[in-house]
Chains A and B, each alone.
Chain A
Amino acid sequence: MQVFSRQSDRYFRIFLAVLLMAVLGSVTLFSFVSRPQFTEVGYSPVQPVAYSHKLHAGNLGMDCRYCHIGVEQSAHAGVPPAEVCMNCHARVKKDSPLLARVRESYESGQPIPWVRIHRLPDYVQFNHQAHVVAGVSCVSCHGRVDQMVEVRQVEPLSMAWCLDCHRNPAPYVRPPELVTRLDWQPDRDPVEIGRELIAARGINPPLQCSACHR
């Protein structure tokens, strides 16, 4: 006597096909959503002080380097001490409750615990100085911060993404004095400008491991 009907062969084949598709499908889906474009981009934590880059860097047109002093001399751009805020806010909006935390920090000497947004793993040695000096604008990695009320990560900051630029820097290189001009619109093809600068200033982005991993 038979436990399986004549059709069961077909059912079995269909079952196998479905199983196969399910497996492949889920793998593809997972690898798609686990890309840094999904996992990293858009990260925008709540900061201890409601500081608006849009207001300061955008509307008021303050230069990035007024606060991020290290960016041209050091690996780290640096987050400004409360003192820098107080330079103005000792007079401007001196009693604003929004600035309480800043004043408190300035008086107590306790740092403000800003939440890191653009984070690279500890085995990556990124150097702001090298990039800024070569004429890579802030906007290339941080986006239009001058239009963000709350800063969020706009680029994946993955190795593959870094290499895209290191392999083909021309579109991202501009005259170094313009790196903090996030809204800079060149009058002609930026790639042209980039090529000329690269040729003129002998820029050759490193591709070896030890350039970043050491």
Chain B
Amino acid sequence: MATVSQPAETPLVLGGLTPADVTRRVAGIVEQKTPRAWWAAFAFTGSLTLVLFAMLGYLVTTGIGVWGNNSPVGWAFDITNFVFWIGIGHAGTLISAILYLFRQRWRTSINRFAEAMTIFAVTCAAIFPLFHVGRPWRAYWLFPVPNEWSGMWPNFRSPLVWDVFAVSTYFTVSLLFWYLGLIPDLATLRDRATTRVRQIVYGILSLGWRGSARHWNHYEMAYLLLAGLSTPLVLSVHSIVSFDFAVSLLPGWHATIFPPYFVAGAIFSGFAMVVTLMVVARWFFGLHHLVTMKHLENMNKVMLATGLIVGYAYAVEFFIAWYSGNPYERFAFVNRALGPYAWAYWIMVACNVLVPQLFWFRRIRTSVPAMFVISLLVNVGMWFERFVIIVTSLHRDFLPAAWGMFRPTWVDLLTLAGSFGLFLTLFLLFVRFLPMISMSEVKAMMAAEETP
């Protein structure tokens, strides 16, 4: 613990809070009476979620034709949303796993939040690969289940099968990691609980945590192991998602640069989403002392860095297209920048490359409204990045006679909106019923800071 990265003058907890205050602050949010504003927000996101279910119901009963997908554009909003949501998840894992292993103390007050976001994002993401198939009721064939009728197995050469494993592993590990971290805090809530219901519920959830040295010992060890497990996932999951494209032979998809490019993009969008949500939560629940400007600034720095990587990837793609001398490849990229979907391409460039440059300025980096707007724009940009990669590559490939245009239907749009509804609904439930900041870790961190 000698390698404390933070200089002492910028403490991570302000307002001279004692550990007791931390507990009171955080647990208080869960124990207080439900705020009106929460109900209002919940009503809104809840109805959006219902829209999502309605759209999926319509889709399953009627067919993929309710979307705008066509030939040649076989994938459009469906896979765009999938990649987008998976990307969002990455910040959580990065913060909780990698920053933990690097002993980045500032992570402590935001990791719980970010991990929760991971779970919910992956949940939203998982919807799309399942429902984008023409016959969802047969989607279980994607899993290697022995079949008495045909004895058929999945085709392990297909990146989609790799996806199945990558995503399900990712979800499982993230869930375990998140829940494990929650246990001590759940116990705290149990102990502070005043009503019997809460005592029982939190009691069961905290799995009989007593905070004994033995418990802490096991806990620390398990936490470290899971952190180690999730670290490669941060890199592997989105690399494998990128294989869906990289492994194909489509100009604009068939690129070796995809894995790093996708991972960077994922972290980029993930942090953007954390900032977007954190800024709101921080303001609403008054967590300025726990989630300090330093936290936010650090995240903005990460965004700036990853944004630059993404921008570099965009540039390299063009260079390679030109350098390869492959006419199809060249056309694909010229078509991206100047073709019918140029507007989408330039939205992407503007939001992902230009806008984040503002973070070079400390004043903007530390301005809450600015970072809120920028992080929103980055999310928009990252959604369009996936749209551009998928749709513009598909709509004009090898044989001009087979070219076409994709136009989303209202179902496409409402499904996208609905997925946000589900995401935010889960989030609201989270901030309402679970401690959104890891009390135990913050307190541990405070203790560590006090030691000279």
State whether these chains interact: yes
Complex-state Cα separation, A3 to B149, whole angstroms: 51
B199 touches A159 (CB 8 A): no
A35 in the interface (beta carbon within 8 A): yes
Contact check, B208 vs A9: say whether CB atoms are below 8 A apart: yes
Measured CA separation A183–B388 after assembly (Å)? 68
Q: Which residue of A lies closest to B206 (CB)?
A: A4
- Name the interface residues of B163-211: CB closer than 8 Å to any CB of A: 196, 199-200, 203-204, 207-208
- The residue in chain A whose Cβ has the minimal distance to the Cβ of B190 is A3
Query: Is the CB of B148 closer than 8 A to any CB of chain A?
Result: yes
A160 and B208 within 8 A (CB) = no
Report the Cα distance A4→B209, complex, angstroms.
11
Closest chain A CB from B193 CB (angstroms): 9
B348 to chain A, nearest CB (A): 41
* B150 proximal to A (CB < 8 A): yes
Q: Are A158 and B203 in contact (CB under 8 A)?
A: no
Distance A8 CA – B209 CA, assembled complex (angstroms) = 12
Is residue B151 contacting chain A, with contact meaning CB distance below 8 A? Answer: yes
**0/1 string, A8-33, CB within 8 A of B gives 1:** 11001000000000000000000100
In the assembled complex, A34 has its CB within 8 A of some CB on chain B: yes
Known contacts being A4-B208, A8-B208, is A160 close to B148, with CB within 8 Å? yes
- CB contact between B150 and one of A3, A8, A37, A159 (< 8 Å): that residue: A159
Q: Determine the distance from Cα of A159 to Cα of B148 in the docked complex, in whole angstroms.
A: 9
Q: Which residue of B lies closest to A164 (CB)?
A: B151
Minimum CB distance partner of B149 in chain A? A158
Interface residues on B, range: 10 to 19
* Nearest B residue (CB) for A32: B148
Complex Cα distance A101/B204, Å? 70
Instruction: Determine the main DSSP class of B at the interface with A.
Output: loop
A36 within 8 A of B: yes
Chain A interface bracket (under 10, 10 to 19, 20 to 34, 35 or more): 10 to 19
Q: How far in angstroms is the closest Cβ of chain B from A98?
A: 38
- The A-contacting residues of B in range 225-281, CB under 8 angstroms, are none
Interface pair A36/B148, CB less than 8 Å apart: yes
The contact of A3 among B148, B152, B196, B207, by CB within 8 Å, is: B196
Flag if A12 contacts B207 (CB, 8 Å). Answer: yes
A159 touches B208 (CB 8 A): no
**Chain B residues within 8 Å of A160, by CB:** 147-151
Cross-chain contact B204 with A36 (CB below 8 angstroms): no
Count chain A CB atoms within 10 A of each CB in B147, B149, B151, B203 and give the residue with the most. B149
Interface presence of A100 (CB below 8 A):
no
Q: Which of A4, A12, A163 has the most CB of B within 10 A?
A: A4
Given A4-B208, A12-B204, A12-B207, the answer on whether A158 and B148 have CB atoms closer than 8 Å is yes
A158 to B147, CA, bound (A): 10
Given A8-B208, A12-B208, A3 contacting B203 (CB threshold 8 A): yes
Which of chain B's residues has its CB closest to A9's CB?
A: B208
Check if A36 sits within 8 Å of B149, measured CB to CB.
Answer: yes
What chain B residues lie within 8 Å of A159 (beta carbons)? Answer: 149-152
What residues of A have a CB within 8 angstroms of the CB of B207 in the complex?
12
B interface footprint on A80-104 (CB within 8 Å = 1, 0 otherwise): 0000000000000000000000000
Chain B residues within an 8 Å CB radius of A158? 148-150
Mask of A136-161 contacts with B, CB within 8 angstroms, 1/0: 00000000000000000000001110
Report the Cα distance A160→B150, complex, angstroms.
5
Q: Contact between A3 and B200 (Cβ–Cβ < 8 Å)?
A: yes
Q: Give bound CA distance, A9 to B187, whole Å.
A: 14
Shortest B108–chain A CB gap in Å is 28
Return chain A residues, CB-CB under 8 Å to B147: 160
- Cβ contacts B144-162/A at 8 Å (1 or 0 each): 0001111110000000000
How many angstroms from the CA of A37 to the CA of B196 in the assembled complex? 52
Asked if A163 and B149 make an inter-chain contact with CB atoms under 8 angstroms apart, the answer reads no
**Cβ-closest chain B residue relative to A15:** B204
Choose one: A3, A9, A35, A36; the contact of B199 (CB below 8 Å): A3
The distance in angstroms between the C-alpha atoms of A163 and B351, with both chains bound, is 56
With A and B bound together, what is the CA distance between A4 and B207 in angstroms? 11
Q: How far is the CA of A35 from the CA of B146 in the complex (A)?
A: 11
Given A8-B208, A9-B208, A35-B148 contact (CB < 8 Å) = yes
Measured between beta carbons, the chain A residues less than 8 angstroms from B149 are 36, 158-160
**Nearest B-chain residue to A34, judged by Cβ:** B148
When chains A and B are docked, how far (Å) is the Cα of A113 from the Cα of B396? 55
Tell me which residues across on chain A come within 8 A of B152, comparing CB atoms.
159
The chain B residue with its CB closest to the CB of A4 is B203
Which residues of A31-46 have CB atoms within 8 Å of chain B's CB atoms? 31, 34-37
A143 to chain B, nearest CB (A): 20
> Within the assembled complex, what's the spacing in Å between the Cα atoms of A37 and B200?
47
Please list the 4 inter-chain residue pairs (A to B) with the smallest Cβ-Cβ separation, ordered nearest first: A160-B151, A159-B150, A35-B148, A9-B208
Interfacial residues, chain B to chain A (CB-CB below 8 A): 147-152, 196, 199-200, 203-204, 207-208
Listed by A's residue number, 28 A-B pairs whose Cβ atoms lie within 8 Å are A3-B196, A3-B199, A3-B200, A3-B203, A4-B203, A4-B208, A8-B208, A12-B204, A12-B207, A12-B208, A31-B148, A34-B148, A35-B148, A36-B148, A36-B149, A37-B148, A158-B148, A158-B149, A158-B150, A159-B149, A159-B150, A159-B151, A159-B152, A160-B148, A160-B149, A160-B150, A160-B151, A163-B151
A159-B150, A160-B150 known; 5 other A-B pairs, CB under 8 Å?
A: A3-B203, A31-B148, A159-B149, A160-B148, A163-B151
